[in-house]
Structures are given as structure tokens and as C-alpha cells.
Structure 1
Amino acid sequence: MRHGGRILSDQLVKLGVRRVFSVPGESFLAALDGLYDSDIQNVVCRQEGGAAMMAEAHAKLTGLPGVCFVTRGPGATNASAGVHVARQDSTPLVVFVGQIDSGHTDRETFQEVDYKAMFGSLAKGVFQCNDTARLPEYIARAFRLALSGRPGPVVLALPENMLSAKADVPDFTGTWRTPAAPAPYLWDHLLMRLAEAKAPLMVVGGPHWSPQAAAALADFATSARIPVATAFRRQDYMDNRHACFAGDLNVGVNPRLAQRVRDADCLLLVGTRFGDIETQGYTLVDPVGPGKAILHVHADADEIGRVYGPTLGVVCPGDVAMLSLRDALSRQDGWTGWAEAVAPARADYDHWQTPVESPGDVKQEQVIRWLSDNLPVDAILTNGAGNYAAWLHRYFTWKQHGTQLAPTSGSMGYGFPAAIAASLEHPDRTVVCLAGDGCFQMTCNELSTAVQHGAAPIVVVMNNGRYGTIRMHQERAYPGRVSGTVLANPDFAALACAYGGFGAVVTRQDQFADVFAQASGAGTVAVIEVRLDARVLSPGASLA
């Protein structure tokens, strides 16, 4: 006989869970008790949003579902921010929510929430286990659903009386899904359709990728002689130094790359949903009349044709697809490709990377180029949302897979929790979080979490004293009428020191390298506050 919390922890061990992220609550004390005797590390966070974002980042790094424990009511609502990130980023995440005693349901009991109603549009699945003996079944189902098709978040509510009750039940068994590649003739047919194009463009993205897939993409692009772009915040899917790399389709897209999307007569989409960010609000490619062939490869059949009617759709995860495409190309005789398009596409990308000078004594374009030129190739960079990210996306050169953690949902506050998760998973690698002053303050309380658990990321806070993205849009729509976008900020370096970390301030460009070296050698979480000229808005744009 085991109580529900022990059944839960034993099942997690069987599923290969090594680390969970939580904010404790009285609603799941039995689960905490179960974790006590396990070898699972429980990373105790300061706010449930940070915990859920750490779990989501952990999933991106490992390819397995991230696990988060939060309490009922306020805890669950705080965690919803991370659930939304996992949904839009197609990340496998399992959120266990402590729930009221099931015997008190529908009385508006203290902190009672109907989680099926609350998370219904955010999660892939929302369940509540009311029978202790069925816990293994529900847990295994949550994990498999989180990973299936297009991955995403699953929420499982756990009534406290169910968790504390005992049952004699075996752990659930079975294997993970094993994605199978479609028959070879389908890839041959896809390449036949691609060969008919005069000006194709390949776009890769989505949730399924690996170092092997990145290598296969590099080989495929070289042999196919085709320009390749990456989807929003998937820049590490291809070595950006590759001759066929044409750039990334982000919010502040290279206008020349945007035009290349418009002019393409065939799009080969692998893994990506090809949503509104990649298409600039569906203006680059009209869903009603695309005017080009679309060859769409995605892990979830429901995503193929959801927005754009494909010329050919293939249901397959992106990483498996790349291996199959490389093999299929090796079977093609007389392949010529589009060498005449590769060089101009690459030249457009190189031109876009040429720094545009910003005002002030510290220049973000130079900071990012320094990081790009001096960080180890396996350094992990994280960020949340804000105009500061435009410099990172434009001027940093990603060199290998598994080095970029950023929310395609555009969630502020994500970068720092993600950096903590990355530092815990890879303590031997350099982890750098780029954050704006507004973005960092969304989750900077997790400095305490980093110190407690020994995470040592370096946070570079770009401080311009405002919500920069909103101010930029405000200046466009209502010039000179500043409202609600100015920030009163703390001394970020002093704040880091108060938590037990390292802190420093950079006010001149020539200080950055030395300060970064000090932060790297500190052996603890570090915050470098970069004080920017208040006129800076975005690369190439500033206030008078």
C-alpha cells in the first residue's frame, strides 16, 4: 500500500523524470512527501510562473516533458503563463495542480477552480484524478499526450484527499511513442515537386529537432543547393555560418528575406507551423491565395492545411523528416538545385548582420557581436520579450543546436527562469540570459532560486528605463504622447548582490569585456546591468 504522493513519485521515476520545478502548497503535501524518498530533484521556485517556465525550458533542452507542481487557485493561475508558452512553443509540459478535497466540489471551497474550464484552451488536455488507484494511468496518459503529434502542455489536477489516500496498484508500463518515417516514395515525390520550382525557399522550425537533424539539414541544404530560413526563435536549428543560411523569420525580419518569401514559387516547410510571425501577419503569404506551391512536413496532421492549403503534406516530426530528406536526395540523379539563389540569399543575410550604430556610450549591437565572437560555441542564450531581443536575433550567430531558449509566444520574463533551468541541466556550459529592464523584473525574484540551487547563469540586463517595445509602437501611433511606458528601476547590480550573487554595472562600451570576465569567474548567478541611452528604441531607430 502506498499513498498517492508515493505512487506519483514512483511513476515519475519510472518515466525518467530527474528534476521537477515547484512552489509548495498544502494541497499537495503528499506529493512532496513522495518526492522526499525519490532521487528526483525538486527545484523550489519563488513564483509559479517562473516554475512553469523553468519546466518548459527544461523540456526544450531534454526533449522530454518538463514537470511542474503548483498549488490550487492562485498557484495555478500564476502557472498559466508558462502553460501558454508551452502551448505556443509546442513544448511537452506536465503541470500537476493541487486541488481541493473532491468531497467539497462545487461549493466554491477555498481556492476552488474548475481547471478544465480554466485551462481548456491553453492545454492539450486537462484531467482530474479522483481515484488513487488510477494515478499511474492518468500520469502515463499525461506524459504520452504531452509528447504526441504536436507536443504541448497537459494539466492534471490532484485532489488532496486522493493524494493522501492509499492504494495497492502497480505502476503503469509501456513505451514512449516511436515516430516512424513515411515510406521512401513519399520523400521522392516531395523532392520531385520541389525540383519543379524556379525560386524555392526552405523554412525549418517547430518542436522536433536534434543535433543529428541539424547535421542532416546542413548536408541536405548543401546537396540540394537551396536557401534555408529558420522560423521565429529557432535560429539554432542550422549553423548560421552555413553558406545556404538565409536568416530567420522574426518580428523584425530582414526586408530582403521577407521579399524572398513573397517571391518564392515554392515553400518547403519542415516542422514549422509557419504562423503569423513568420509571415508578418499573413501578409507575405496570403492564406486564401498563396500563389505558390507549399510542401508542408509536420508531426501533427491537424496542422497541415490548418492555415495554408498544401500542395503536398507529409505527417512526420521535423527531426525524422530531415534524415529522410537527406537520404531521399542521395537517390536523385541529375539534381541541379538553385545555386544561383543561394549566394544572393546569403549575401542578404550578411548585409543584415552589418551593425547599425545606435546612440550612447554603450551600444547593444557591439555587446551582441562581442558575445557572438567570444562565447563558446555551445553557450546557451536565453531571452524573454522586448526590443532588446531584436539586437540579439539580428547580430548573434548561432553555431549549434541546443543553444537558443526563447518563447515564440513572446512572453516577458521567460529568459531568466529558462537560464536557471539551462544552468542546472548543463552546469558545465556558459549560460547567458539577455533581458530588458522590464522583462527581467517580471521574474527577477528567481535570483533566490538560482542561489539556493547553485545555478550560475549570467544575466545581461539592457536598461533603457522603459517598456521599449510598447514605447516604440506608442511613438508610431501617438508620437510624443508618452503614457504608461516609463519604468522606475532598482540598482540591478545591488539587487543581485543582495540575493547573494554577483552584480556589476556597465556604462561604457570598453568596460563590458572585463565585467563579463568577472561575472564568468564569480561562480554564482551574475547580473550585468548595461545602462543604455534612453533614445534607443530598436536597431536603426531611436528617439530624437
Structure 2
Amino acid sequence: MTQARRTEARLGGHILADALVAQGVSHAFCVPGESYLDLLDGLYAQRNRIQLVTCRFEAGAVHMAEAYGKLTGKAGVAIVTRGPGACHAAIGVHVAFQDSTPLVLIIGQIPFEETDRESFQEVDYRKMFAPLAKWVTQIDDAARIPELIAHAFDVATSGRPGPVVVAISEEMQKHMASVPDIGPAAVLPPHPAPDAMDRLMGLLAKSQKPLAVLGGGACWTEQGRADIRDFLVANDIPVAVSFRRQGLFDGTSPNFVGDLGVGADATLVAKARESDLFLAIGTRMGEPISQGYTLFDMAGGTPIVQVYPDQAEIGRVYRPALGITSDMNAFAAAAKATKPIANPAWAGWRAELRAAREAQARPAQYEGPLNLAVALQELEAVLPADTIFTTDAGNFATWPNRFMHISEKQDFLGPTNGAMGYGVPAAIGAKITFPGRTVICFVGDGGFMMTGQEIATAFHHSVNPIILVFNNQMYGTIRMHQERTYPGRVSATALTNPDFSKFIESFGGHGEIVETTEQLVPAVQRAIASGKPALVEVRTNPEQVTNRSTIAQLREQARKAAEGAAEKEPAAKAGPAPAPRRVGPRTR
């Protein structure tokens, strides 16, 4: 549709608000600041078209916008003030960058006449955000607002999606200009090359042990996910997902074999090394999925087919046998249209990998009154089929990853950069984006205390996410690494926490405490039925620091490793065991 030209003069702040409307923005997440008062006034004029969500902390605002981007495939929009506000927002920009999520961050800036005087809260955002964003710009001329905002959205959503940062100088917003609005460009997505699918199927036909891994987040549509599922199931290919991408494939499917990321099942990692054709669909083949770049040799000894929308990412680390530059949904449609391999040779291989997945998802016998594995599986059985899950970073997150089965209509949002403090604001952003869907947040006690105050935003905007706080009174991931490397020498990882249920009740919300297996499901059901923002504090056993090891077991493993090292080098001075490669979940 042709954008109607506007001829009247407008304030820069109003031109900017109108430019966001022209790009189809429906939500903007902000912490207000005096550096963009005129934009706020412009957004007031557009209050019936853009929902302005008032947040309590800039990082929380950007996490909410990032969750919006993951769920919709559109660029999430966050607006913060200069200096400290922009610095607080940086962590959310890094999440969007490493998660390949489309995002536009708008930062109020000092008056441009004061540049390079170290004015109040002055920061050069081109330098600050250069390593964290796809593009950084500053608007000092009100007449260029539509042009630069349109380009910002184009960059954020094209190729490998990611964050764009736009600084807007304070006095520019007060300038008058007569300039037309600019809408989105009608750009067709890249499709696979004409012979790409024939070459892919040729490689597949020669395979004995193929393995597909799905990655990417916001780039997938519902139809694209359905199409790639149909292709993979029709060819009976075992399917894993990359780090924190459980929402990309039905975890209940016989073809699903687990998540290949940080803390992956050792059997799946071993089987991935056995594979003779690795289909990397939508993933960058980064450090988590490659197990620290150790999964394959980089010269291409294992044939890899990498499908990605940005050609610069294909072969960045591992040289592929075939690289396909394509929009993921276009590739999925093309793949679905291929003729399936007749009588594939890998039926037993797929069944073997699925059996391993089922074995690792079978709850173990854990000490204490709460078996979290059993409780989570009981919970998944009663949640709606379209539930949205968000997760923070930490050891607690490996429990739902390992034991839950995210089904086809559900979404799972998590920070692949390991940012603590993501889960709560992401849950609020998800609930604001889709208020009719149940939203469950998994967060540790450490991560909750970083951004838990954002629950106030849920009350302010009348949405009711359910927050599950896993409380073991420690920074569990760091304690795990500490015990492996310096067993018994506990430093800086113990925490003192409030009564989390009373915390939510102080806002007028619904609070519960869970200490046994059978208490979790009824507590969550009461939380949902309350219709209020709710928090369920799950008090876990501090000794069970991971779902595979206790602290005592980690110390024993470290002791044996140290003894083994001493036997090999008897003359060496005794000391702590050398640090092993990190294999647990990452936190910031």
C-alpha cells in the first residue's frame, strides 16, 4: 500500500512517534526520561495505536521488547534515556544480538550542540554499542527521522535479525519539519538456490546416521515450523534443538532427541559426533551447540549442511559440505515439497537416539521431599497446549530442559547469552504480547532478585504471568564450577533471600510456597485461577546443585581428578585440580 504523503510541519518527537506507527509498531517498552519528552508527547498523540508499557528498569524494558520480538518475528521496541539508562539497557541489546532477535532501541541523547564536552550523561553510542548491535545511528535532523527509522527496522529484521540502536538528540525532537512518513519496504525473502534441494536430498540419500538441529528464534513463523516438522518427520530424521530453542520442535514427537546446547545429555553429544550428516537448520553453529567448538573438526570431516538467512554466518567456523542461504520459512516450504527418501537407512539410528532421550528424561530418585523432575512432568501435563514458557539463566534451568517436553503449540523463550534477570521481564513482555495465553516463568533466586521488581509492571498493565522461583539460596551455577575446581572452598556464592511469596503479596498478587513434589501442581493451578500476577517459590535442596550431581559428588569427582593428576606428575606441587571445560548452564 502506498504511504500517504504528509505535508504539515510537525515536531521531531511527533514525527518519530508517527514513524513508529508507519513501521507497524504496536507496543513500546520504556523507562521515561527527560531526554525524550517530546517523543513521549508524540506517543501520547498515538496512544490508541501504540501501547506504551512503563517499566521499572531499563534492562527489564529491553528484555520485554526482546521477548515481543521472539514471539512475533517483528522488531521489539524499547525506549530509554541517555547515560545510565542506556548503560542499563545494554544487557538486553546483547541478548538480542546473540539470540538474533529483531529489536530497535531508541535512546534519548544530549543536545547535539553539547557533543564532546562530557555534557550531563553524555555517551557516544556509536562506540558503546558497536560490538553489540547490527547498526548504531544518531538522528540530529528531524527531516531524516522517517528515513533513518525505516532503515533501522529494515536492518533489525533482515538477514540474521538483531538489535539496532538509534540515539535521538534532545533538541532535534523540538525542531519542526515537513516530511512524509515512510512505511516498510516490500522485500521478498531469500529462497534456496535452484539446485539446493536436489543437492541436499542427494547428501541425505547417502547418509546412514543423519542428525538435524534446529536453531534460530524470531525468524521462524508458525507455518515454517510446521513445514520443517513435516519434512523431518517424513524422512524420519532425528531432530535436536539448539540451546534454549525447545519451542522449535515438538518434544513429544518420536523424532525429537533432545537439546544440543550447554548442559546437553552426554549420550546425545556422543551420538552427534557419530553422525555422518549434520543438518544445521537456522543455527549459527556457535559455542553452545558445538560443545565449545569440539563437536566436529573445522575442516569438514563430518558433512554439514548449514541453512541460514545470512551468508556471512555460513561456514564462519565449520566448513559445510553445503551452505544454503535462505529465509528459514522459505527453506522449510521448499524442503516440505521434496520427495521423501524411500526406505531410509537410519530408522534404527533414529529409534536409538529417541530411546536415549526418553532415558535421560526419566526422573531419577532424588533425596528429599521434592523431586523436581517428577513435579515438572506433572505440571506439564496440566498446562494449556499454548503455554508460553520463559526461562532465566542458571542451573535450575536444566531441570525443565531435561525433564519437560515442550509441545508443538507452545513457545519457549530463553537467553542464549546466559543473561540472568531475563526470565521475569520476558514473561511480562510475553503476557502483554499475548494476554490470552498462560505464561510460566522459570527463574532462580539469584536471577529473580536482579529484575524481580519488574513484577510491578505486570500489575500496572494488568497482566498475570506465573513466576516459579527456584530457591536454593545460592548462585548455583557458579557454586557448581567452584566445587569442581576448588572443592569445599566456598566463596561469594551463598545468598540471603526474602520470603518470595510475601514479596508478591505485598503488591496484591498471589503467593505460594512449594516444598514437596505433590505441592507444585496444585500451587500453580491456584496461581492461575487467582487471575493475579503470581509467584510460586519452589524451595529446592541446596545439596542437589545440578540434576545430575550433588555437591558431595562434585567434591568427590574433584578429589579423584586431583589424585589422578598427582599420580601422573608426582613431582608437581599439590594444588587444586585444573579447571575442566565448563559444561553446565551459563550465567552472566
With the length of structure 1 as denominator, give the TM-score of the two structures: 0.97
1:491-512, CA deviations, whole angstroms, 9 ceiling, x for partnerless residues? 1011111122111111222222
Aligned to 1:225: 236
The partner residue of 1:140 within 146, 150, 156 is 150
For residues 427 and 184 of structure 2, the distance between their equivalents in structure 1, rounded to whole angstroms, comes to: 33
Aligned to 1:211: 222
Aligned to 1:55: 65
CA contact (8 A) 1:211 1:400 kept: no
* Counterpart mapping for 1:309-324 below 5 A: 309-324=319-334
CA contact (8 A) 1:94 1:143 kept: yes
Decide whether aligned partners of structure 1 residues 227 and 543 sit closer, same or farther in structure 2, where only a CA change above 3 A counts: same
Aligned to 1:106: 116
Structure 2 residue identity aligned to 1:66: G
The partner residue of 1:190 within 173, 178, 200 is 200
Aligned to 1:89: 99
Pair 1:479-2:487 in alignment? yes
CA contact (8 A) 1:226 1:341 kept: no
Structure 1 residue identity aligned to 2:191: A
Pair 1:152-2:199 in alignment? no
Give the CA deviation at 1:214: 2.1
Pair 1:409-2:417 in alignment? yes
**Where does structure 2 lack aligned partners over 5 or more consecutive residues?**
1-8, 553-588
1:446-496, CA deviations, whole angstroms, 9 ceiling, x for partnerless residues? 011110001200001110000000000000000000000000001101111
Count residues in correspondence. 541
For residues 359 and 543 of structure 1, the distance between their equivalents in structure 2, rounded to whole angstroms, comes to: 13
1:329 aligned counterpart, secondary structure: coil
The partner residue of 1:242 within 239, 250, 253 is 253
Q: Which moved more, 1:503-512 or 1:344-353?
A: 503-512
Aligned to 2:283: 272
CA contact (8 A) 2:379 2:521 kept: no
Give the CA deviation at 1:337: 4.8
Give the CA deviation at 1:540: 2.1
Structure 2 residue identity aligned to 1:258: V
For residues 521 and 250 of structure 1, the distance between their equivalents in structure 2, rounded to whole angstroms, comes to: 35
Q: Which moved more, 1:227-236 or 1:128-137?
A: 227-236
CA contact (8 A) 1:296 1:310 kept: yes
Aligned to 1:431: 439
Structure 1 residue identity aligned to 2:234: S
1:284 aligned counterpart, secondary structure: coil
For residues 492 and 365 of structure 2, the distance between their equivalents in structure 1, rounded to whole angstroms, comes to: 28
Give the CA deviation at 1:524: 1.4
Give the CA deviation at 1:401: 4.8
The partner residue of 1:469 within 474, 477, 485 is 477
* Counterpart mapping for 1:323-338 below 5 A: 323-329=333-339, 334=342, 336-338=344-346
RMSD: 1.3
Q: Which moved more, 1:215-224 or 1:448-457?
A: 215-224
Aligned to 1:12: 20
The partner residue of 1:345 within 353, 357, 367 is 353
The partner residue of 2:387 within 376, 379, 393 is 379
Structure 1 residue identity aligned to 2:464: A
CA contact (8 A) 1:435 1:461 kept: yes
Q: Which moved more, 1:301-310 or 1:168-177?
A: 168-177
The partner residue of 1:442 within 422, 434, 450 is 450
For residues 180 and 273 of structure 1, the distance between their equivalents in structure 2, rounded to whole angstroms, comes to: 17
1:181 aligned counterpart, secondary structure: coil
For residues 10 and 345 of structure 2, the distance between their equivalents in structure 1, rounded to whole angstroms, comes to: 62
Over the matched positions of the two proteins, sequence identity in percent amounts to 46
The partner residue of 2:507 within 499, 521, 524 is 499
1:538 aligned counterpart, secondary structure: coil
2:16 aligned counterpart, secondary structure: helix
Give the CA deviation at 1:402: 5.0
For residues 53 and 350 of structure 2, the distance between their equivalents in structure 1, rounded to whole angstroms, comes to: 46
The partner residue of 1:179 within 155, 180, 189 is 189
CA contact (8 A) 1:417 1:446 kept: yes
Aligned to 1:76: 86
For residues 144 and 397 of structure 2, the distance between their equivalents in structure 1, rounded to whole angstroms, comes to: 45
For residues 80 and 363 of structure 1, the distance between their equivalents in structure 2, rounded to whole angstroms, comes to: 37
**Where does structure 1 lack aligned partners over 5 or more consecutive residues?**
none
1:504 aligned counterpart, secondary structure: strand
Aligned to 1:41: 51
CA contact (8 A) 2:391 2:413 kept: yes
Q: Which moved more, 1:171-180 or 1:219-228?
A: 171-180
CA contact (8 A) 1:224 1:338 kept: no
2:419 aligned counterpart, secondary structure: coil
1:537 aligned counterpart, secondary structure: coil
Q: Which moved more, 1:20-29 or 1:213-222?
A: 213-222
1:205-232, CA deviations, whole angstroms, 9 ceiling, x for partnerless residues? 1132122122222221222122111111
Give the CA deviation at 1:255: 1.2
CA contact (8 A) 2:515 2:538 kept: yes
With the length of structure 2 as denominator, give the TM-score of the two structures: 0.90
* Counterpart mapping for 1:258-297 below 5 A: 258-287=269-298, 289-297=299-307
Structure 1 residue identity aligned to 2:139: C
The partner residue of 2:516 within 508, 511, 514 is 508
For residues 204 and 59 of structure 1, the distance between their equivalents in structure 2, rounded to whole angstroms, comes to: 19
Decide whether aligned partners of structure 1 residues 357 and 271 sit closer, same or farther in structure 2, where only a CA change above 3 A counts: same
Decide whether aligned partners of structure 1 residues 177 and 359 sit closer, same or farther in structure 2, where only a CA change above 3 A counts: farther
CA contact (8 A) 1:357 1:540 kept: no
Aligned to 1:368: 376
Pair 1:517-2:525 in alignment? yes
Aligned to 1:64: 74
For residues 17 and 258 of structure 1, the distance between their equivalents in structure 2, rounded to whole angstroms, comes to: 41
